[in-house]
Structure 1
Amino acid sequence: MSTLRGLPEWGRCAVMGVVNVTPDSFSDGGRWFDTTAAVKRGLDLVADGADLVDVGGESTRPGASRVDEDEELRRVVPVVRGLAAEGVTVSVDTMRARVAEQAVEAGAVLVNDVSGGLADPAMIGVVATAGVPFVVMHWRGFSESMNSRAVYGDVVTEVIDELRARLDAVVDGGVDPECVVLDPGLGFAKEARHDLALVAHIRDFDALGRPLLVAASRKRFLGHVLAKDGTPPRARERDAATAAISAIAAHEGAWAVRVHEVRATADAVRVARAVGAAR
């Protein structure tokens, strides 16, 4: 497993728990909108086995509208500060440079940008100056329009090529290449068949030479797989399927998986590690 500056060495696929400080997340919108509730949720995720906690204040579900910057700051920074004060390894999920900067000042040790630095031109400079790990996701546009961009000839090759271009861009912008984590962007400008193909080819991303974050938790493609009579289960009923993807990702060498419910995935990555060690 790769080691990243400022982060612990877990010796296996890490588990990133999600705290959505939003009223409109596709998965659990509104449940952790209050700062106190969000901090407690993060601590509960750690108790369940999360290695780090990803705090976000803007929904990126398909069709979601953007929240304004001041509101995102109001949602995110107190939660980051509260969790960091408790010794939690915190990442911030944001597309805005100012939010990333203030979150790092509040104790975040990783920036997770679903736009890969495309949404805010200042993001790359902020991350480079902070010297923290940076998750660069495959992204083709904001939530309002991303479904229309799910057009691929060969999804695996195209996502790898587009991620390579973003990796080059962030490094050219001053980010230490050893700080970059890549994310194939499951569910972002992807149909179910695209997501499944990317999961099936996780090892192909080794060609990029950087750790990989796999964020499949509760996403639409799992609903598609589990649908009965054409009706997918609700997001919160996809946690067993999420743990299955976590086990696959860990077995295939992913650096981390990002999930809403941690316990089953924490077990899954540990089993994957034990099986790998027994080879």
Structure 2
Amino acid sequence: MEYRSDTLQNPQNSATRVMGILNITPDSFYDGGLYHAENAALQHLQELVDQGADIIDIGGESSRPGADPVPADEEKKRIASVLPAAVASGIPVSIDTIHAATARFALEAGACIINDISSFRHDPAMAALAAEHECLCILMHMQGTPKTMQAAPCYKDIISDIIDFFKERIDFALKEGVAEENIWLDPGFGFGKTVAHNLELLRRFEEFQVLGFPLVLGTSNKSTIGTVLNLPPDERLEGTAATVAIGIMKGVHCIRVHDVRAMSRVAKMCDAVLGRDAGQTP
């Protein structure tokens, strides 16, 4: 089944894209273990589709702070059962991975987006793979790895440092043959950043627009929200909504979320205020 190509094109000029998270992991910070079983994963996939997700982001390796790495073979095994159904839904499928072998497996099954939290640093072969498949790539900023990223992260100026990082990674991707129009950027809220860093990142998010690429934001239920509100992960909906609204008003083009229905409504309201095209549908 084909998806609407406009979901992945010209996001600056149209409605905010809503990326629904499907973690096939036993240890993700928010929903670890909930969708590890095949039936539960397929049921949640259908829920994301029914709630109006524009993109389904499937991950088989947790990137929570302190998480241990997962071999590509295990990662592929985790996502294999849900990939065909996700592709058959007609909604663009993203594979959240740092392993080129896993990305190739997903792309050959019909996925069309690589969401690489390492920005092609963990596995340099990822860039050539993305170029080969002419797929969309989401490059994310992170200090260190999920295992080490919260060990005293430090910046001279968080926005300038991330912009410099992106310039280097964009240059690498382009040299490897990735098309400029196939690059989106995620500043990595919660990845190698303190609470103060995350709040400043969101406060100054509009500064990332200087790069000229579509911007992705993933704040959904993260620990910074929990720290500010003193709430556990399953009570962070309102805090997530606040960060999503602020992000969209400051230039975010795609939000990566667990609660698709609620955050789609937040995005729709923000888009109306901004005068973005609300006619785009998944």
TM-score interval (norm. to shorter): over 0.9
8 Å CA contact 1:4–1:178 kept in 2: the answer is: no
Matches within 5 A, 1:68-87: 68-87=71-90
Deviation at 1:149, TM superposition (A): 5.2
Which range moved further: 80-89 or 257-266? Answer: 80-89
Q: Which residue of 2 aligns with 1:186?
A: 189
Let me know the Cα RMSD of the aligned residues: 1.8
Question: Which shifted more, 265-274 or 246-255?
Answer: 246-255
CA distance in 2 between counterparts of 1:156 and 1:109 reads 29
Judging changes above 3 Å, is the alpha-carbon distance between structure 1 residues 4 and 194 closer, same or farther for their aligned structure 2 residues?
farther
The match for 2:41 among 35, 38, 41 is: 38
Residue 204 (structure 1) aligns with: 207
- Report if the CA contact (8 A) 2:57-2:93 is conserved: yes
- Measured in 2, the distance between the counterparts of 1:186 and 1:91 equals 19
SS of 2:150's equivalent in the other structure is helix
CA contact under 8 A between 1:5 and 1:133: conserved in structure 2? no
Cα contact 2:7–2:17 (8 A) shared by 1: no
Shift >3 Å, 4+ stretches: 3-6
SS at match of 1:148: coil
Which residue of the partner structure matches residue 156 of structure 1? Answer: 159
% identity of equivalent residues: 39
* Structure 1 residue identity aligned to 2:153: A
Unaligned runs of 5+ in 1: 228-232
Aligned length: 271
Q: CA deviation at 1:148?
A: 2.0
In structure 2, distance between residues paired with 1:6 and 1:90 = 11
- CA displacement at 1:140 relative to structure 2: 2.2
Alignment partners' CA distance in 1, 2:97 and 2:128: 15
Give the letter for the 2:26 counterpart: P
CA distance in 2, matches of 1:188, 1:30: 21
Deviations 1:204-241 (A, max 9, x none): 111111000000111111111102xxxxx111211211
* RCO comparison, higher one (Cα < 8 Å, 6+): 2
- Deviation digits for residues 147-172 of structure 1 (CA, Å, limit 9, x no counterpart): 12510121111111111111111111
Structure 2 unaligned spans of 5+: 277-282
**C-alpha displacement at 1:139, in angstroms?**
2.0
Q: Is the 8 A contact 1:138 1:185 kept in 2?
A: yes
Q: How does 1:111-260 map to 2 (within 5 A)?
A: 111-148=114-151, 150-227=153-230, 233-260=231-258
**1:244-266 deviation digits (Å, cap 9, x = unpaired):** 11111222221100011112110
Deviation at 1:6, TM superposition (A): 7.5
Is 2:271 the partner of 1:273?
yes
SS in 2 for 1:189: coil
What is the aligned partner in structure 1 of residue 18 from structure 2?
15
SS in 2 for 1:146: coil
Superposed displacement of residue 4, structure 1:
7.7
Q: Could you tell me whether the CA contact under 8 Å between 1:17 and 1:54 is conserved in 2?
A: yes
